[in-house]
Amino acid sequence: MAEIISLANRVTRIAPSPTLAVNAKAKALKAAGADILNFSVGEPDFDTPEHICAAGKKAIDDGHTRYTAVPGIQELREAVVYRLKEDHGRHYTPEQIQVSCGGKHGLYNIFQALLDQGDEVLIPAPYWVSYPPMVQLAGGVPVAVPLAEQDNFDLDPDILERCATDRTRAIIINNPANPTGSLFSRRALEAIGKMALERGWLVVTDDIYETITYPDEKPPHILDVDARLQDQTVILNGVSKSFAMTGWRIGYSAGPQHIIKAMNKIQSQSTSNPCAPAQYAALAALTGPQGFPAVMKQAFLPRREFFVADLTAIEGVTCVKPNGAFYVFPNFSAYYGKSFNGKKINDSVAMADYFLDEAKVASVPGAAFGADDFVRFSFATSMEVIREGMIRIKKALAALG
């Protein structure tokens, strides 16, 4: 069909989410009968716990099927306040909480509320694929702050200083991080906190993987660096990862009231409110037993051990051991420049394509995360799949010449 109607510049400047695109491709190939092992998308391979599903079903039976308050039902916002106090000793009021359609939409709301044309946001790289496009969609400019593999992807304050300008409005922290699984050190957070206080930046701390850390330590947090930072920090979190609720689409933000109010204005004109029954399910998640992330971690831990050990045993491959989340992010750059059947592999996109075509292994190229030397594999999949995947990956790498 002829494309008569042109599209907005803002759309043509961004790409569709690569994590979701690879996942869709892997699922389609599998549905067509291909023997694909899917390491692409980051979602727990667990079902939502029964008591949470029951609360969602009950909400429908009880007639919670209409619009709710724009920032989410009062009980859920109170439950978020309770968790922040109980788990972290932080003090918020329900007016400082917004419930959104997933954490992703919470981030979208934050940048829509904060940024004017040309405002810069510092994004430590490797970063989660959606941060830069969300900043761009709000008219902002994403500025990558490079993190080094040899520093375990911790942030170097001198590099941060060099990336900051007088157009900087915000910085994103993702602790533990997607795709590296790394944690920022206390030293890095202190440097960020100091600069944020001096220069009036908003700190966006994406804590979505906070319950999934190895070992069990709580990740260091920006709000523990200096209490004053609470006035210029928005915490982003949600139930997708902690309670295996990716499809329910419930996230939440906690921050200064005027920012949350602005985000509510945007939400009122876009999604109105997150899905009502899903909010009741999330309420059961936050107020019920909190042991579920530990159950998932029990399964993730041996997978992490095996994956990292097997990858780093391959000649030329390095892989930082993740301290959290459920991804490994090996560096395959030693294999760039090699060929298979006359086709050269020069970057992470070609490497991930090669894994998919020749090894039937779906992964996400590091370029999507701003780090072309790497490829991301999610280990939120069974040990058998990981074992078989590693056999195929090793065979594919050995076939390159």
- Do strands 120-125 and 375-378 pair parallel, antiparallel, or not at all (unpaired)? unpaired
19 binding ligand GLU? (CB under 6 A): yes
Question: Least distance to ligand GLU from the beta carbon of 256, Å?
Answer: 26
Closer to ligand PMP by Cβ: residue 131 or 355:
131
Which position among 36, 42, 68, 145 is part of the footprint of ligand GLU (CB under 6 A)? 42
* By CB under 6 A, residue 365 contacts ligand GLU: no
The binding site for ligand PMP (CB under 6 A) comprises 42, 102-104, 128, 174, 178, 206, 208, 238, 240, 246, 251
Q: Of these, 26, 41, 189, 386, which contacts ligand GLU (CB under 6 A)?
A: 41
Residue 17 interface partner, choices ligand PMP, ligand GLU, none, CB cut-off 5-8 Å depending on type: ligand GLU
Q: Does residue 237 bind ligand GLU (CB under 6 A)? A: no
Report in angstroms how near the CB of residue 123 gets to ligand PMP at its nearest. Answer: 11
Which of the choices ligand GLU, ligand PMP, none does residue 72 contact, using the CB cut-off of 5 to 8 A by kind? Answer: none
Contact window for ligand GLU (CB under 6 A) among 69-77, 122-130, 274-282, 342-350: 122-130
CB of 154 to ligand PMP, least distance (A): 17
Nearer Cβ to ligand PMP (23/333): 23
Closest approach, Cβ 74 to ligand PMP, in A, equals 21
**Smallest distance from ligand PMP to CB 127, Å:** 8
Per-residue three-class SS string for the chain: CCCCCCCCHHHHCCCCCHHHHHHHHHHHHHHCCCCCEECCCCCCCCCCCHHHHHHHHHHHHCCCCCCCCCCCCHHHHHHHHHHHHHHHCCCCCHHHEEEEEHHHHHHHHHHHHHCCCCCEEEEEECCCCCHHHHHHHCCCEEEEEECCHHHCCCCCHHHHHHHCCCCEEEEEEECCCCCCCCCCCHHHHHHHHHHHHHHCCEEEEECCCCCCECCCCCCCCHHHCCHHHHHHEEEEEECCCCCCCHHHCEEEEECCHHHHHHHHHHHHCCCCCCCHHHHHHHHHHHHCCCCHHHHHHHHHHHHHHHHHHHHHCCCCCECCCCCECCEECCECHHHCCCEECCEECCCHHHHHHHHHHHHCEECEEHHHHCCCCEEEEECCCCHHHHHHHHHHHHHHHHCCC
Out of 178, 267, 348, 363, point to the residue binding ligand GLU (CB under 6 A): 178
Q: How near is the Cβ of 17 to ligand GLU at its closest, in Å?
A: 5
* Nearer Cβ to ligand GLU (92/111): 111
Helix axes 276-287, 74-88, angle to 10 degrees: 30
Can you tell me the distance from the alpha carbon of 251 to that of 186, in angstroms, rounded to the nearest whole number? 26
The partner in contact with residue 206, picked from ligand PMP, ligand GLU, none with C-beta cut-offs of 5 to 8 angstroms by kind, is ligand PMP
CA 252 to chain centre: 14
Q: Which is nearer to ligand PMP, 135 or 359 (CB)?
A: 135
User: Closest approach of Cβ 368 to ligand PMP, in Å?
Assistant: 12
Of the pair 169, 249, the CB lying nearest ligand GLU is at 249
Please, what is the minimum distance in Å from the beta carbon of residue 41 to ligand GLU? 4
Choose the contact partner of 283 out of ligand GLU, ligand PMP, none; CB within 5 to 8 A by kind.
none
| Residue 129 sits in the site that holds ligand GLU (CB under 6 A) | yes
Rounded CA-CA distance 84/59 in Å is 24
Per CB under 6 A, residues contacting ligand GLU are: 17, 19-20, 41-43, 104, 128-130, 178
